[in-house]
Structure 1
Amino acid sequence: MKIINNEENLQFEYAEGDEIARLEYRFYKKDIALMHTVVPESMAGKGVATALAERAFAFAKEKNKKVMVYCPFVAKYVKKHPELRDQIDRDYHPNL
């Protein structure tokens, strides 16, 4: 699955035909904030949201940025992947 970082729109994207799935992010203070994941119904159940989250965490690691989680999907993803917890900014998310 080819995930691109659309730096102009601050989102990771995956396209299938005319439809685009996205995970929106913002830079906040010293962190990257993962804001919102949108996956079109036609892509549901294909692991697209997971692939977007994986790419977002890889990007944060590449940039040496801690992660702030505002997206409910990403919060569930982190709970399923405890190895990512060291990337979470504990000042904002002590319970993730």
Structure 2
Amino acid sequence: MSTLVEDNPAKQRFEILVDDALAGFAAYELRGEVLVFTRTEVDPRFQNMGVGSALVRQTLDQVRARGGRVVPQCRFVAAFIDRHPEYAALVTDQP
């Protein structure tokens, strides 16, 4: 199973492709350099396969590489960051 996570600024979301099929996305609102994550969805065909976690991990890695910050309003993103404290420094309460 190959995965690719790409930012789709036109739709304001990061998308994960699994074997070239859209498997899910993490929607955001851009406020300067801060991405406010509002919703994460994974296609039912790809649930319970680690796709959501791969999406959030690779998304946060890309945000970190850009020097950005995040506000995890989405419960899935917030829970992921709670379980992976190495991403806590990306969190800001200033959208």
Q: Which of these residues, 73, 78, 86, is aligned with residue 75 of structure 1?
A: 78
- 1:70 CA drift (Å): 0.8
Report Cα offsets for 1:24-77 as digits up to 9, x if no partner: 112124411111101111100111111111122112112211110111101110
Superposed structure 1 runs of 4+ greater than 4 Å apart: 16-19
Change (3 A) 1:40 1:65: same
Residue 45 of structure 1 corresponds to which residue in structure 2? 48
Counterpart code for 2:68: K
**In structure 1, what is the Cα distance between the partners aligned to 2:75 and 2:7?**
20
Q: Tell me the number of residue pairs that the alignment of Structure 1 and Structure 2 aligns.
A: 91
The secondary structure found in structure 1 opposite 2:11 is coil
1:2 lines up with 2:4 in the alignment: yes
- 1:18 CA drift (Å): 5.8
TM-score (norm 1): 0.82
Counterpart code for 2:43: P
Structure number with the higher strand fraction is 2
Gap runs ≥5 in structure 2: none
**In structure 2, what is the Cα distance between the partners aligned to 1:22 and 1:47?**
13
Gap runs ≥5 in structure 1: none
Q: RMSD over aligned Cα, in angstroms?
A: 1.8
Tell me whether 8-17 or 56-65 shows the greater mean CA deviation.
Answer: 8-17
Q: Report % sequence identity.
A: 21
Change (3 A) 1:2 1:18: closer
